Amino acid sequence: MSSAEGGRLAGKTALITGGARGLGAAIATRFAEAGAKIIINDLNQEAATSAAEPLGGIGLAGDVSNAAAVTEMFAQLRKQVGALDILVNNAGISGLEGDNEARERIQKVAENATRAAQGEAIDPTDLQLSLLTEQSDEGWHRMMGIHVNGTFHCSREALRLMLPERGPRERDGCIINLSSIMGTFGRAGGTAYCTAKAAILGFTRALAHETAARKLRVNAIAPGWIATAMTDPLAPMHPILEAQTPQGHLGEPDDIAWAAVYLASEEAKFVTGQTLSPNGGWYMSQ
């Protein structure tokens, strides 16, 4: 439904970080169809613009892990758009980027998991990708910088734009933070990623308390295993993950995009501080 027809997000302006591909691109597309004015952030200006233009939106480059870059990005947003109703903190990494040996390690883990399922005795350490002792300082800080610091930097700047100096907003606004089932469940071999995604959930709840009286809602989405470029390196594990998922398959980007549309819409006006986890039943938290 177009904005002209009066969509669920008609008249709203939304910024999606890391929105040029994957889950962010799916969210941006569904937001635009629901009537929102779209701003897409990416590290690369060309990628941001290419993703935004077909949606009638604006592309803004900026490294969310860099506070100064985020401040500049929001200065541009203020200049070009002037207002913001919805922030989606989606930018993230898996930690496998640039790791040329990752697929080989994942293949080995998948083979060991299959053998274990068939009754063979397998050393438990052969069923995980890595140990914390192998985690580099650089990789750890990069993971926290993009996920945790990025969510903080963008939320802080968004609030400076979204909230009046005194009293509540004239209309509802919202922040949606992308976490993961790895932040709710945890998993061996991905401690940095799990830690970052769990931190986002704590941040979400605290900020929801802080902004509730100002007509601004803060929620999180914790996706399960979704078929995207980010999960492509885990392809050897996909049959195992599908078998572990009660619905029997990986999710699609739209499974997350529609959850975001709901949380951004008036339908979720009484929802704040919550985590919505489309995961096919892989992890049932409540």
Active-site residue set: 193
In angstroms, how far is CA 159 from the centroid of its own chain?
Answer: 19
3-state helix, strand, coil in the chain (%, to 5): 50, 10, 35
Kindly report the three-state secondary structure assignment for every residue of 22-52: HHHHHHHHHHHHCCCEEEEEECCHHHHHHHH
Q: Tally helices (H) and strands (E) across the chain.
A: 10, 7
86 Cβ neighbours under 8 A, 6+ residues apart = 9, 12, 13, 14, 15, 31, 36, 173, 174, 175, 176, 264
Rounded to 10 degrees, what is the CA torsion of 138, 17, 23, 258? Answer: 140
* C-alpha separations of 162 from 10, 51, 156, 166 in Å: 17, 24, 10, 12
Residue 179 and residue 202 in contact, taking contact as beta carbons nearer than 8 Å: no
In angstroms, how far is CA 186 from the centroid of its own chain?
Answer: 17
C-alpha 278/C-alpha 260 separation (Å) is 11
